[in-house]
């Protein structure tokens, strides 16, 4: 087994031009394959799109983008380009914003996905001698199995710990010398308290050196805090079940944005309103076309995630373009004093200041003909030590950090535990009571 | 050492009613109560006969409650009683962060509850100045 820097140097070290040539070739194959799918035949016909006449990448824009609604619009088997018996697994998204969506995988799809995640992990330095503790949920959620198989493929020792049971997680880390974990950032933060309760310091009492964090919005400052408290490097991961799961984009050791694996995905950044490409480097909605999936390819799939492409080449030598952190989702953005704001930004800040499970609500009101934004946050018993002073400090800190993140100064109200509606779905988090809220 | 229960509460009608109802149903007797207010919320500080039971009950009912160590000093219920306690602490540079008192026996005995940052040091100062401090058990037995 090679111990070089690259898992798949042939793909990782392609130049920008080589990537574009490869994409065009693969895209033609994918479109050819799509002709076996009842859905795509109809989709092409409706758009007047002739896949065999595709001359350049730009020609793909003749097809309308698709999204979750497209996937939900009937039997998911319509998307298959292979007979059903070729399918070996299905994954399904969490369905937090509606009915679940299903993605079917053939054995080759699972293999290609595993290769991509292995490439990500290897890029950050995971090797055969590592002990990888996977603290993500297994099952329909792709985060668990995606990393599991990739770590095995690298040849690391995998501990399929799953989520929860904090004391056992720590016990496993200590018993087997875990060096790498895959974890939700808020859980990593929570686990610090458990370490402390047990009188342990992860820097001294574990062999941890790396963590992959994802599946949840978080700030750069929270990442740095985790790195410092655990004495590790923490890498950001991006993926979504419709694009197979993790392994779509990942940070390299330079931690300056996440490389999108452009040999396997065509990345477009579109203005969510006009669906036209945004100027290079500007923020827009990430839209992906799969180039590595045979069973259920997706063409121009709208993620509703907003990010931008970072300019220039990366110091690691990979030409695969990098994206910023996901700023928010197009479907829950709101505008206050002319500034676009996403609940995810508020959530990120609160997670950093308050830790796990902080329930919150955003109220938008018109006061003296002006927009006012009020953020109500529940204060749980373990957040303070009984002093008014602490609560005032907490409130000031939340206001300051929110102002930095969203560029608007909100009012922050500390609430009693359980006094806000439980956070089910994102819609209830934002209550718009402004006079122009309707029909504008 | 004595304990009081600090409870975070929104400044709105009905909150104290709910809080005192929980304590009543738990058969907890309130010896003294004070409220430290910010604008839209406050911290209710309760000296009760059984602080641990009160704390558990309030947490169970969803209140954000904290069991806080305080010093309960016995003082004379007559002019100058409080002054002597404050002087003892002030001379040794102990800052009182919050305090409240209540009378146990009219014109004889009162109790001053003091919140300070460094409790062991303040206790030592008071003891060496001849003051008597009360434990949770002694407060319970009042």
- For residue B96, the domain's CATH number is 3.30.70.260
CA distance A412 to chain B (A): 10
| B43 DSSP β-pair partners | B8, B36
CA distance A40 to chain B (A): 53
In a domain, A93, yes or no: yes
Based on the domain organization, do B43 and B87 belong to the same domain?
A: no
In a domain, A1, yes or no: yes
**In this structure, are residues B4 and B137 in contact, taking their beta carbons and an 8 Å threshold?**
no
Q: Does B34 touch chain A (CB under 8 A)?
A: no
Q: How many domains does chain B have?
A: 2
Q: Which domain holds residue A396?
A: 333-432
The verdict on a CB contact (< 8 Å) between B41 and A387 is no
Contacts of A377 in chain B (CB under 8 A): none
Q: What is the pLDDT of residues A178-198, one digit of tens each?
A: 999 999 887 888 898 889 889
Based on the domain organization, do A260 and A405 belong to the same domain?
A: no
Q: What is the pLDDT of residues B45-61, one digit of tens each?
A: 999 999 999 999 998 89
Residue that terminates a domain, selected from B69, B98, B126? B69
Based on the domain organization, do A262 and A340 belong to the same domain?
A: no
Specify the CATH number for the domain of residue B54. 3.30.2130.10
Residue that terminates a domain, selected from B69, B86, B116? B69
The verdict on a CB contact (< 8 Å) between A386 and B40 is no
- The pTM for the full model equals 0.75
In a domain, A439, yes or no: no
CA distance B4 to chain A (A): 10
- Which residue bears the tokens 């983008």? A65
A-B contacts at Cβ under 8 angstroms: 50
Based on the domain organization, do B91 and B42 belong to the same domain?
A: no
Residue of B nearest to A389 (CA): B38
Q: Say what the pLDDT of residue A327 is.
A: 84
Based on the domain organization, do B6 and B56 belong to the same domain?
A: yes
- Choose among A380, A383, A414: nearest Cβ to B41: A414
CA distance B32 to chain A (A): 17
Based on the domain organization, do B6 and B54 belong to the same domain?
A: yes
Residue that terminates a domain, selected from A285, A306, A330? A330
Segment B118-124 mean pLDDT: 92
- Which SS3 state, helix, strand or coil, does residue A72 take? helix
Segment B76-81 mean pLDDT: 88
The three-point CA angle A156-A161-A164 to 5° equals 145
Based on the domain organization, do A242 and A360 belong to the same domain?
A: no
Q: Say what the pLDDT of residue A439 is.
A: 37
Q: Does B38 touch chain A (CB under 8 A)?
A: yes
Based on the domain organization, do B48 and B108 belong to the same domain?
A: no
Q: What is the 3-state secondary structure (H, E, C) of A213-265?
A: ECCCCCCHHHHHHHHHHHCCEEEEEEEEHHHCEEEEEEECCCCCCEEECCCCE
Return the C-alpha torsion angle A195, A200, A201, A204, nearest 10.
-140
Based on the domain organization, do A276 and A380 belong to the same domain?
A: no
Residue that terminates a domain, selected from A282, A299, A330? A330
Chain A contact residues (CB < 8 Å to B): 379-381, 383-388, 391-392, 413-419
Q: Which domain holds residue B119?
A: 70-141
Contacts of A417 in chain B (CB under 8 A): 62-64
CA distance A388 to chain B (A): 6
Based on the domain organization, do A292 and A388 belong to the same domain?
A: no
Based on the domain organization, do B117 and B97 belong to the same domain?
A: yes
Q: How many domains does chain A have?
A: 2
Based on the domain organization, do B74 and B63 belong to the same domain?
A: no
The 10 Å Cβ neighbour count of residue B21 is 12
The three-point CA angle B44-B45-B46 to 5° equals 115
Based on the domain organization, do A283 and A394 belong to the same domain?
A: no
Q: Say what the pLDDT of residue A422 is.
A: 64
The verdict on a CB contact (< 8 Å) between B66 and A415 is no
Based on the domain organization, do A159 and A300 belong to the same domain?
A: yes
- Choose among A380, A385, A416: nearest Cβ to B9: A416
CA distance A381 to chain B (A): 4
- Choose among A380, A388, A417: nearest Cβ to B43: A388
Based on the domain organization, do A304 and A416 belong to the same domain?
A: no
Q: What is the pLDDT of residues B58-77, one digit of tens each?
A: 988 989 899 999 999 999 88
Q: Say what the pLDDT of residue A434 is.
A: 85
In a domain, A440, yes or no: no
Contacts of A388 in chain B (CB under 8 A): 36-38, 42-43
**In this structure, are residues B47 and B31 in contact, taking their beta carbons and an 8 Å threshold?**
yes
The verdict on a CB contact (< 8 Å) between A416 and B65 is no
Based on the domain organization, do A76 and A111 belong to the same domain?
A: yes
Residue that terminates a domain, selected from B69, B85, B111? B69
- Choose among A387, A391, A417: nearest Cβ to B62: A417
Based on the domain organization, do B59 and B117 belong to the same domain?
A: no
The verdict on a CB contact (< 8 Å) between B43 and A386 is yes
The CA-atom distances, in angstroms, between A57 and each of A2, A21, A28, A30, A199 are: 35, 9, 10, 13, 58
Based on the domain organization, do B74 and B134 belong to the same domain?
A: yes
Based on the domain organization, do A273 and A380 belong to the same domain?
A: no
Please list the pLDDT of chain A residue by residue as tens digits (440 residues). Answer: 445 789 999 999 999 999 999 999 999 999 999 999 999 999 999 999 999 999 999 999 999 999 988 998 889 999 999 999 999 999 987 555 556 789 999 999 999 999 999 999 999 999 999 999 999 989 888 999 999 999 999 999 999 999 889 999 999 999 999 999 999 887 888 898 889 889 999 999 999 999 999 877 777 888 998 999 999 999 999 999 999 999 999 999 999 999 999 999 999 999 998 999 999 999 999 999 999 999 999 999 999 999 999 999 999 999 999 999 988 888 778 888 888 888 888 888 888 887 655 688 899 998 888 889 999 998 876 667 788 888 888 899 999 999 998 889 999 999 888 788 764 444 457 888 887 654 33
Specify the CATH number for the domain of residue A357. 3.30.300.30
Q: Does B55 touch chain A (CB under 8 A)?
A: no
- Which residue bears the tokens 């610090």? A192
- Choose among B8, B59, B68: nearest Cβ to A379: B8
The verdict on a CB contact (< 8 Å) between B62 and A414 is no
- Choose among B10, B37, B67: nearest Cβ to A416: B10
Short-list A236, A289, A291, A286, CA closest to A258: A236
The verdict on a CB contact (< 8 Å) between A414 and B65 is no
Residue that terminates a domain, selected from A291, A311, A330? A330
Q: Say what the pLDDT of residue A250 is.
A: 97
- Choose among B15, B38, B59: nearest Cβ to A391: B38
- Choose among A383, A388, A418: nearest Cβ to B36: A388
Based on the domain organization, do B28 and B91 belong to the same domain?
A: no
Contacts of B59 in chain A (CB under 8 A): 381
Based on the domain organization, do A297 and A377 belong to the same domain?
A: no
Question: What number of H helices and E strands is found in chain B?
Answer: 5, 7
Segment B116-125 mean pLDDT: 92
Based on the domain organization, do A151 and A221 belong to the same domain?
A: yes
Which residues contact residue B141 at a Cβ distance below 8 angstroms, ignoring those fewer than 6 apart?
none
In a domain, A85, yes or no: yes
Based on the domain organization, do B136 and B80 belong to the same domain?
A: yes
Based on the domain organization, do B74 and B104 belong to the same domain?
A: yes
Contacts of B43 in chain A (CB under 8 A): 386-388, 391
Q: Say what the pLDDT of residue A2 is.
A: 45
Q: Say what the pLDDT of residue A189 is.
A: 84
Contacts of B41 in chain A (CB under 8 A): 391, 413-414
Q: Does B13 touch chain A (CB under 8 A)?
A: no
Which residues contact residue A168 at a Cβ distance below 8 angstroms, ignoring those fewer than 6 apart?
A161
Contacts of A418 in chain B (CB under 8 A): 62
């Amino acid at each position: 087994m090679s111990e070089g820097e690259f898992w798949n140097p042939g793909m990782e070290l392609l130049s920008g031009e080589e990537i574009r040539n490869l994409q065009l070739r693969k895209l033609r194959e994918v479109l050819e394959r799509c002709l076996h799918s009842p859905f795509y035949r109809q989709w092409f016909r409706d758009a007047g799109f002739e896949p065999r006449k595709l001359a350049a990448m730009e020609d793909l824009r003749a097809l309308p983008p698709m999204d979750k609604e497209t996937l939900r619009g009937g039997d998911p088997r319509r998307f298959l380009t292979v007979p059903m018996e070729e399918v070996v697994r299905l994954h399904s998204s969490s369905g937090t914003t509606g009915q679940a969506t299903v993605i079917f995988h053939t054995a080759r799809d699972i293999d290609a996905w595993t290769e991509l995640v292995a490439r990500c992990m290897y890029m950050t330095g995971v090797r055969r001698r590592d002990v990888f503790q996977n603290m993500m949920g297994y099952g329909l959620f792709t985060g668990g199995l995606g990393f599991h198989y990739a770590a095995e493929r690298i040849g690391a020792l995998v501990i399929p710990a799953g989520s929860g049971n904090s004391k056992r997680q720590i016990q496993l880390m200590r018993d087997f010398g875990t060096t790498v974990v895959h974890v939700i950032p808020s859980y990593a933060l929570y686990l610090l308290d458990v370490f402390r309760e047990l009188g342990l310091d992860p820097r001294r009492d574990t062999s941890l050196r790396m963590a992959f964090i994802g599946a949840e919005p978080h700030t750069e400052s929270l990442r740095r805090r985790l790195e410092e408290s655990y004495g590790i490097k923490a890498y950001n991961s991006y993926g979504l079940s419709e694009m197979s799961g993790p392994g779509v984009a990942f940070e390299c050791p330079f931690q300056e944005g996440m490389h999108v694996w452009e040999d396997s995905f065509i990345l477009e950044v579109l203005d969510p309103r006009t669906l036209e490409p945004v100027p290079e480097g500007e923020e827009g909605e990430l839209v992906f076309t799969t180039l590595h999936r045979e069973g259920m390819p997706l063409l121009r799939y709208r993620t509703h995630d907003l990010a931008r492409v970072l300019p220039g080449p990366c110091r690691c030598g990979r030409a695969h373009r990098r994206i910023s952190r996901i700023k928010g989702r197009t479907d829950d953005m709101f505008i206050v004093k002319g500034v676009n704001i996403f609940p995810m930004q508020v959530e990120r800040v609160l997670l950093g200041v308050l830790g796990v499970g902080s329930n919150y609500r955003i109220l938008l009101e018109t006061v003296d003909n002006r927009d006012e934004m009020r953020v109500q946050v529940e204060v749980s018993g373990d957040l303070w030590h009984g002093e008014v002073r602490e609560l005032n400090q907490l409130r000031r800190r939340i206001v300051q950090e929110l102002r930095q993140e969203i560029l608007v100064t909100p009012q922050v109200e500390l609430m009693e535990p359980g006094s806000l509606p439980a956070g089910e779905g994102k819609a209830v988090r934002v209550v718009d009571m402004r006079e122009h809220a309707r029909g504008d | 050492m004595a304990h009081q229960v600090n409870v975070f509460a929104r400044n709105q009608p009905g909150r104290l009613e709910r809080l005192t109802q929980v304590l009543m149903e738990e058969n907890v007797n309130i010896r003294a109560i004070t409220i430290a207010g910010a604008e839209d919320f406050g911290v209710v500080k309760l000296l009760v006969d059984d602080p641990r039971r009160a704390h558990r009950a309030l947490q169970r009912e969803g209140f954000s409650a904290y069991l806080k160590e305080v010093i309960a000093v016995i003082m004379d219920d007559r002019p100058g009683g409080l002054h002597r306690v404050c002087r003892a602490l002030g001379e040794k540079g102990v800052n009182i962060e919050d305090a409240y008192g209540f009378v146990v026996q009219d014109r004889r005995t009162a109790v001053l509850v003091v919140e300070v940052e460094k409790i062991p040091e303040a206790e030592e100062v008071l003891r060496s100045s001849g003051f008597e401090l009360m434990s949770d058990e002694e407060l319970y037995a009042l």
